[in-house]
Structure 1
């Protein structure tokens, strides 16, 4: 298995409502088949899929899926962008769980919960500079 994640699929109760949240953050939909809404990222895609359909596809009861103890992270180019993006997420309907603040290891971050319950970290890591296109790598570009 090659070391990459190609598609991140979030099971959501209402795909249009979930898509409206990401669109309010400035994301643009990609062409996709019925039943899934996709947003192309840098070398990955975020897919929104009905939670009931995801459970059926996996073969588990819907109430056993939950949202899990996973956080998705969006790294920024500057410390200032963290608070700006948290404010944009809140304006789009997210719940701020942790406001922008310095972190013991030298970075700056905050967390929000999307309207569907998915956890997101917005972070600036001064040790992992983004590529000109915005790609992230652990030790930077």
Structure 2
């Protein structure tokens, strides 16, 4: 029997308004793939593809027959780890300037790092975090943690 490779290749958000989300993520300074449009959009982030796909179409593929989720928090958070404690505040401020909604201001955490939470225009939660044990390669991909 084969095995499932231990990797995360793509994270896809089901978008209620893909145009607004595309605009928000471009406002963060992220480069959208050239093939992106309002039927599918993607950003290559440190070795992981971050994709946006219309929610009804994603639901038809990934959850056929299940009602669309209500608005609000899904119980999932995405994270962008940065290189220093100070960079948490700078990156967080950039997200807010691009239109993010503040969920929890950056603060030093009991686990020894620093992080804050914001929501994108559709309520998807992002954490901007620094953990002293995180190590990244030249592309920004996480290569060690802990």
Q: 1:65 to 1:91 in 2, by over 3 A?
A: closer
Counterpart for residue 41 of structure 1: 45
Is 1:2 aligned with 2:5?
yes
Deviation at 1:55, TM superposition (A): 1.4
Deviation at 1:67, TM superposition (A): 5.2
Deviation at 1:72, TM superposition (A): 0.5
Is 1:30 aligned with 2:33?
yes
Contact map agreement 2:78 2:125 (CA 8 A) in 1: yes
From 27, 40, 57, the equivalent of 1:53 is: 57
TM-score, normalised by the number of residues in structure 1: 0.89
Counterpart Cα distance in 1 of 2:91 and 2:36: 29
From 108, 111, 126, the equivalent of 1:105 is: 111
Deviation at 1:87, TM superposition (A): 1.1
1:89-117: per-residue Cα shift (whole Å, max 9, x none)?
A: 11122111111111111111111111111
Superposed CA RMSD: 1.9
Q: 1:57 to 1:67 in 2, by over 3 A?
A: farther
Aligned pair count reads: 140
Unaligned 5+ residue runs, structure 1? none
